[in-house]
Structure 1
Amino acid sequence: GQGEPRQDGAAQTGATEQEPESGGQQDKKFELRMNMAGFSPEELTVRQEGRKVTVTGRSEEQSPGEDGDSFREYRELRREVLLPAGLDMEAVTCSLCLDGQLRIEAPRLALQPAEGKAIPISIQAGEGATQGDTAAKEEKELGREEESGSQKT
């Protein structure tokens, strides 16, 4: 049944993800996939706090042993991922595929303008040139003060 491939996921215990195993950079949505093979949907918890997504998996299996005894296999896995800025954090979705891939998706916000945007130039009587010249003079004066300051001491 569902519990057979559990040994595969045991090595992942305690993993903390900085970069997603695979993250799609499509234009309209972000996609993140994590291998959660060996965990059923009931054993997984996905929590979101702002941009941070925490995936926790807990599995407990009791098996009969020799002489009527029984033993328990207990596994716990925790992964934390920081989602990139610019996503709609209110619309994050999560799904578990049959192959054990946990998929986290979020639409990208359309707040950024297109690649380029024209910025109108307003013309004011002499202020723009004076400000530019003043900034250049201040930089030169600062350099001179540092040089002359070291000579005076």
Structure 2
Amino acid sequence: MMLRDHAAQLSFGQNGEFNYRVDVSGFRPEEMNVNVEGDDIIVQGQHKSGNEDEQVQRSFYRRVRIPQGIHRESIQCNLDERGRLYVTGKKLQKDQEQSRSIPIGFKKSEALTDMSSDKQAEQNGANRQ
């Protein structure tokens, strides 16, 4: 599968790895940020230059959904000499799938608490007679 627009391309490798390429030519690494926010990867940049007579400002913002089954900790990005930013992520292996043990806690039932309050009230009433 491949999705493409004029500046970005999203594809999946044969092993299910996630590949997202963005053309960021004209931006330096220190002018860009790549973050994971929830289920999305946010790629953004801002460039300012100029002098007294002329100012140039460019910015971009890209948001792409992290596909299901991609190991978030494996996501990384690299910038090549042609100004292309590559964001990649590996598919979760079977042993890495998100499974966890859920501990069993103990909580008194409200019904039992209410019943014991009623019994205590009855006993207090019987003790007063």
What TM-score does the superposition give when structure 1 sets the normalisation length? 0.53
Tell me what 1:80 maps to.
63
Q: 1:27 aligns with which of 6, 15, 18?
A: 15
Task: Give distance in 2, aligned partners of 1:51 and 1:111.
Answer: 20
**What is the DSSP-based 3-state SS (H/G/I as helix, E as strand, rest coil) of the residue aligned with 2:54?**
strand
CA contact (8 A) 1:92 1:107 kept: yes
Partner of 1:46: 34
Q: Which has the higher helix share?
A: 1
Q: 1:29 Cα deviation (Å)?
A: 2.5
Whole-Å separation in 2 of the counterparts to 1:24 and 1:99? 22
Q: Distance in 2 between matches of 1:50 and 1:106?
A: 15
What secondary structure is seen at the aligned counterpart in 1 of 2:81?
Answer: coil
Q: Please identify which structure carries the higher strand content.
A: 2
TM-score by length of 2: 0.62
Runs of 4+, deviation exceeding 2 Å: none
Shift of 1:76: 1.2
The answer for the alignment partner of 1:93 in structure 2 is 76
Structure 2 residue runs of 5 or longer lacking an equivalent are 96-129
- Which residue of structure 2 lines up, in the alignment, with residue 61 of structure 1? 49
1:3-29 C-alpha deviation (Å, 9 max, x unpaired): xxxxxxxxxxxxxx8xx5142323062
Q: Please, which runs of 5 or more residues in structure 1 have no aligned partner?
A: 1-16, 64-68, 113-153
Tell me the distance in 2 between the aligned counterparts of 1:50 and 1:77.
20
